[in-house]
Structure 1
Amino acid sequence: MAFDAIAGVAHPPAGDPTGIVLLTHGAGGNRDSPMLVRLCDEWAARGWLAVRYDLPYRRRRPKGPPSGSAAADQAGIADAVDLARSLTAGPVLAGGHSYGGRMTSMAVADGLPVEGLLLFSYPLHPPGKPERARTEHLPRITVPTVFTHGTSDPFATIDELRAAAALVSGPTEVVEITGARHDLGSKTVDVPARAVDAALRSLPG
C-alpha cells in the first residue's frame, strides 16, 4: 500500500478523490485513535482520500509519550506531505490531534506546503499552566486553519484558544464543541461532520 512508508492507513472515497487529508495522533495515542478513524471516515464520505498515520516516535515504540526530537516528528510529517503530493494534483490538508496537530502546525509555520491546517484539541498550554502558551510559531502560519476544540479541554479554554487563533496570519475558524474534553468525545454533537464542514468552508473557492 502506498502509505506503508509512513505507517499510514488509507480511507479511500467511492470515486476519484478531490484531494488528500493527512491526520496524526496525540502524544499518548496512535493512528488507531477512535476520533482519527471517525474523522477519516467522514473525509472519505465527502470524496477525499483520508490517511491516518503514526508519527516517527510511535513507529519506534508502540506505547508511551513522545521520545526523540520534535524535529524528527516534524520531518515525518513532511515525509507524509511529500508522499501525498506525489499521489495527487489536488489539495493536501494536514493536521492532527493535540501533539500531532502542534507538530504539524510547527512544520507548516516553517514552510511545509499544504492547502489547509486541521488542529484538534490544540494543546495551547499544559493543564493549569496558562503562562506556558505554545504560540511562538502561530503568526508564521499563513494557510487556512481550523481549530476544533472542546469547551472543557484543560489544555486551553475557548477564550484562550480564540486569542491564540487570532495570532495566525491566515484565515481561521474555531469549531467549539460544547462540553467536550481533550478527547473531543460528545454524545450530542457529530464532531467529525462539524470539523469537516468548517475545513471545506475554509478552502479557497
Structure 2
Amino acid sequence: MWTTANGTGGAGPAPQTETVPTPAGDARITWHRAPDARAVLALGHGAGGGVEARDLAALAATLPPRGVSVALVEQPWRVAGKKVAPAPKTLDVGWRAVWPALTGPGLPVVAGGRSAGARVACRTGRELGARAVLALSFPLHPPGKPASSRASELLDAGLPTLVVQGGRDPFGRPEEFPDGTEIVEVPEADHGFAVPKKAARTQEETLTLLTDAVAKWLDRIAH
C-alpha cells in the first residue's frame, strides 16, 4: 500500500510511504527517492525513537540529490504505537521481511540504522545481500558498562562498515571501538548527535559533517 508522505523540505519527488506486512506486524517504509538513483540506503531507527531522528531526517533530505534513495524503515512496534522495542530477534524478523521491498528498485542496497537499528543491520546485512553497513550511533555498550560490549556484532558484520559516532556518546565513544573500525567522529555530539550550544560547531554544521561523511563513503562503496 502506497501513500504520499509529508516532505522534509527541498526539491525533488515527494516522499512516499509503503506498508509492508511482516510476521511481527506491519512495518512502514518512507521512501525519499533520488531522481537518478544508483543505490538505496535503508535506515532503521533506534529503540527510543522513530525515523524522525535528526540524523535519519538529515540523510533523507540530503542524499537523494546526490544519487542515493533513502528508505526510512519503521519497525512494526513503532507502527503499532507501542512504547517499548521488542527483543533483538524480533527486530531482525521485521527487518528481514521488509528487505524484498528495499531491493525492489533493483539497485544495490546499503543496510543501516541508528543505535538498535544499526545493530539489526550488522546482524543481518550479509545474509540479506547488503552492499555494506552504515552504523549510526552504534551502542557499543550500555552507558557506564563498558565490559558489556557488543563489539562482536560489529566485527561479525562481514561487510564494509562505517560507524558514525558522537564524540561524547555514552553508549561508546569513538576511541572505545576496536582497532580497524572505519569510524567518523562527530565532535561533541551525544547519542542523538545533539551538540551543546557552546560547541565549536552549530547543530546544523554538525549534521552537515555527518551527511557529507556518509555521502563520501557511499560514493566509494555503492557504485
Q: TM-score when scaled to structure 2?
A: 0.79
Q: Is 1:12–1:50's contact at 8 Å kept on the other side of the alignment?
A: yes
How far the C-alpha of 1:132 sits from its partner, in A, is 0.2
Correspondence list, 1:42-61, <5 A: 42-60=62-80
**Which runs of 5 or more structure 2 residues have no equivalent in the other structure?**
3-16, 21-26, 196-201
Give 2:44's match in structure 1, choosing from 2, 24, 27: 24
Shift of 1:173: 2.0
More strand as a share of residues:
2
Q: Kindly name which structure, 1 or 2, has the bigger radius of gyration based on alpha carbons.
A: 2
* Count of aligned pairs: 192
1:145 to 1:39, Cα distance in 2 relative to 1, 3 A: same
User: For 1:54-203, what aligned pairs fall within 5 Å after superposition?
Assistant: 54-60=74-80, 62-67=81-86, 69-88=87-106, 90-108=107-125, 111-161=127-177, 163=178, 166=180, 173-186=182-195, 187=202, 188-189=205-206, 190=208, 191-201=210-220, 203=221
Rounded Cα–Cα distance in structure 2 between residues aligned with 1:59 and 1:204: 30
For residues 186 and 217 of structure 2, the distance between their equivalents in structure 1, rounded to whole angstroms, comes to: 13
**What RMSD over aligned residues (CA atoms) do the two structures have, in Å?**
1.9
Structure 1 unpaired stretches of 5+:
167-171
1:44–1:23: structure 2 CA closer, same or farther, 3 Å change rule?
Answer: same
Alpha-carbon contact 2:122-2:156 (below 8 Å) kept: no
1:74-109: per-residue Cα shift (whole Å, max 9, x none)?
122122322122222x21011101011112211125
Paired residue secondary structure (2:119): helix
Structure 1 counterpart of 2:58: 38
Identity within the alignment, %: 27
- Work out the CA distance in 1 between the residues paired with 2:82 and 2:97: 22
- Letter of the 1:72 partner, please give it: T
Q: CA deviation at 1:21?
A: 1.1
Contact 2:38-2:222 within 8 A present in 1 as well: no
Contact 2:53 2:192 in 1 (8 A): no
CA contact (8 A) 2:32 2:70 kept: yes
